[in-house]
């Protein structure tokens, strides 16, 4: 896929690591909820800007990861930002359903509270309903 002028301008500012990847933080655009953190490569950024749906790069599968392609839990891109040194992308999105492969709305459901690590959110949907969703692990 050819990068649009905006994508080309953006990609020139992104500092990819030795594996050609950049950290990507997905945030629900209206509530501010941090949904998940994953990775993108050049093609993932280009496709995301072109399609308006977030596409990551899965390190475990070494392939583009079109979020929600099989599960329906897609992320609609509202805005893409990069940080001061260009090594992180912030994706403002609208998340359909749940972001986490465990069935929780976001991946950050374990917190240190009152001296121990506790779960602070329960799954909203079963993992069976999330066919094809996975972590980037």
Q: Which residues form the interface with a second copy (CB under 8 A)?
A: 4-7, 9-10, 13, 15, 23, 25, 27, 31-34, 36-37, 49, 79-85, 87-88, 90, 100-102, 104, 107-113, 115-117, 120, 135-137
Distance CA 44, CA 2 (A): 12
Q: Where are the alpha helices (DSSP H) in 1-137?
A: 5-11, 42-51
Distance CA 59, CA 112 (A): 28
Closer of 14 and 64 to a second copy (Cβ): 14
CB of 109 to a second copy, least distance (A): 7
Distance CA 115, CA 6 (A): 47
Q: Where are the alpha helices (DSSP H) in 86-129?
A: none
CB of 96 to a second copy, least distance (A): 18
CB of 16 to a second copy, least distance (A): 13
Closer of 115 and 131 to a second copy (Cβ): 115
């Amino acid at each position: 896929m050819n990068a649009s002028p905006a994508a080309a301008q953006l990609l020139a500012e992104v500092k990819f690591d030795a594996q050609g990847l950049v950290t990507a933080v997905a945030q629900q655009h209206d509530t501010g909820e941090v949904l998940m953190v994953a990775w993108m490569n050049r093609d993932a950024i280009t496709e995301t800007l072109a399609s308006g749906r977030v596409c990551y790069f899965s390190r475990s599968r070494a392939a583009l990861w079109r979020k929600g392609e099989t599960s329906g839990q897609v992320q609609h891109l509202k805005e893409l930002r990069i940080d001061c040194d260009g090594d992180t992308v912030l994706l403002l999105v609208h998340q359909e359903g749940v972001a986490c492969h465990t069935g929780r709305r976001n991946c950050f459901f374990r917190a240190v509270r009152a001296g121990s690590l506790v779960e602070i959110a329960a799954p909203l949907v079963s993992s069976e309903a999330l066919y094809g969703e996975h972590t980037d692990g």
